[in-house]
Structure 1
Amino acid sequence: MRNLVIFLLFGTLFAIGESIIIRDDSSDSHESSYYSGGGHRPKPPRPTKPSSKCESGWTRVQRLSGGWCVKVFAGLTNQPQAESICAQNGARLSAVESSQERETIAELGRVLMTTSSTWKFGSLRTGIKRNTLNSPFYVTDGNAKDLNAVKWSHAEPNQGSYNGGGNNCGMMWLWVPGGRQVQQRVHGEFFSMVCHITWNDRFRGFVCGKSAV
């Protein structure tokens, strides 16, 4: 009888030990699942970049370097004068870096031309130029990546010159129905013209650009 009691007691203790071991194993598995991303711990929020904005009156376009703010001004200016006015506004005479930016500037120019004047054709000075008739064009706004988005009209850029200067500045053509056709220029496309002179024979303007903040 005494031996039977000892046997039963030993069996009970063994069963209790097995139960404890099983519970410990289950707890370890739960901890492993928690720390290995098993769905128990919420993911930390991703850091977000601050949005870049343009001040009132400027339009934001996207470039590889980030937001770029553009504004079209009306004015009878040569290239240096347009560059100076842009600088007074904390900007540079702007080129274009994408087809979307080119179309945006063309639309801004069209709206300004038709709301501020009676002209139905004209041009915008841009940050695109070359040093001589035989040298390549380049951007001058210090931000545009290259000239890949510049779309020249047929037979442009041309090799003409006038009054001691070559057609070394790239300008954007503006046109709406009813406007005078000039050569084969197309609205929103580029042509080359002299940098140092302008004429009061159509709408004249220029486009400035600066980084968004």
Structure 2
Amino acid sequence: MSSRFLPFLCLSSFFLSVAGQCHSGWVLVHRNSGEWCIQIFFGDTTGYGAVDRCAGQGAVLTGIENTEEMHVIINQMKQITMKNALPPDAGFWIGAQRRCNCFDNRNPNECTRENIYAWADGLTKGYWGFTRWAYKEPKGYYQRTNVEDCVYVRYNNRKMDGELADAKCEERNPAVRGYVCGRAPLALDQI
């Protein structure tokens, strides 16, 4: 190899190693599509309000793509619930909304528990998160009226794991005490 390529290789290795840093307070997770930063915020809001609040952070209301993300979210939920004296099963909005063709649940072959919702952020991939429903959730799957259209994550002490539940996007839900935002890691010029 020519020695003139050596500085480029060293420089590119440096950039690869410093990429993947998050803004202060955000936690880095790894997805199949690349790195992602997550932070949970405490605050009473609707599902729609959570979308706006994340946008105010330069982020999106995030989905949950894998086990690592769920564990990061669970750890942050535990910290927030203890700090703010919340019930241990307090919920936090995540970026999922009911699919349009699943509102009336007349499509039982198309609308299963795993795909009645879709990730709304356009960045979360797969259905892993939608296999984590709480008992008798999503409610909208089991009932034909009063359909719920947004999703929140909560901690289940008995299972020692996170689980999903659904609620109406436009209503403040007393079980939901915050929201989970996600954003890309810092660009190299921001480090």
Scaled by the length of structure 1, what TM-score is found? 0.67
Per-residue Cα deviation, 1:12-63 (whole angstroms, up to 9, x for no partner): xxxxxxxxxxxxxxxxxxxxxxx9xxxxx9x955743252210101111111
User: 8 Å contact 1:129–1:138 — kept in the other structure?
Assistant: yes
CA deviation vs aligned residue, 1:166-213 (integer Å, no higher than 9, x gap): 222121113558xxxxxxx9741111222111234x461110001112
Task: Work out the percentage of aligned pairs sharing the same amino acid.
Answer: 25
Specify whether residues 72 and 133 from structure 1 end up closer, same or farther in structure 2 by C-alpha distance, changes over 3 A only: farther
Of 120, 129, 140, the match for 2:97:
129
Q: 1:52 aligns with which of 15, 20, 31?
A: 20
CA contact (8 A) 1:165 1:196 kept: no
3-state SS, counterpart of residue 188 of structure 1: strand
Q: Quick check: 1:172 aligned with 2:153?
A: yes
Question: Are residues 152 and 51 of structure 1, via their aligned partners in 2, closer, same or farther at CA, if it must alter by over 3 Å?
Answer: same
Indicate the structure whose relative CO is greater, using CA pairs within 8 Å and at least 6 residues apart.
2
Match for residue 128 of structure 2 among 126, 144, 148 = 148
Question: Could you say if the C-alpha distance between residues 152 and 199 of structure 1 is closer, same or farther in structure 2, counting changes exceeding 3 Å?
Answer: closer
* Cα displacement (A) at 1:149: 3.2
Aligned residue number for residue 38 of structure 2: 70
Q: Which runs of 5+ in 2 are unaligned?
A: 106-110, 187-191
Q: Secondary structure of 1:121's match? A: coil
Aligned AA (2:135): H
Q: CA deviation at 1:90?
A: 0.4
Distance 2:59 2:86 in 1: 28
Whole-Å separation in 1 of the counterparts to 2:156 and 2:78: 7
Q: Structure 2-normalised TM-score?
A: 0.74
SS in 1 for 2:90: strand
Structural mapping, 1:1-213, within 5 Å: 45=9, 47-48=12-13, 49=16, 50-130=18-98, 131=100, 132-134=103-105, 136-150=116-130, 151-159=132-140, 165-176=146-157, 187-200=161-174, 202=175, 204-213=177-186
Q: Confirm or deny: 8 A CA contact 2:61 2:181 kept in the other structure.
A: yes
Deviation (angstroms), 1:140: 1.1
- 1:88-143 Cα offsets, whole Å, 9 max, x none, are 10000010111111121111111111112243321010001114252521001221
Contact 2:134-2:164 within 8 A present in 1 as well: yes
Q: In 2, distance between residues paired with 1:174 and 1:196?
A: 23
Structure 1 unaligned spans of 5+: 1-34, 36-40, 178-184
Give the whole-Å Cα distance in 2 for the aligned partners of 1:165 and 1:212.
39
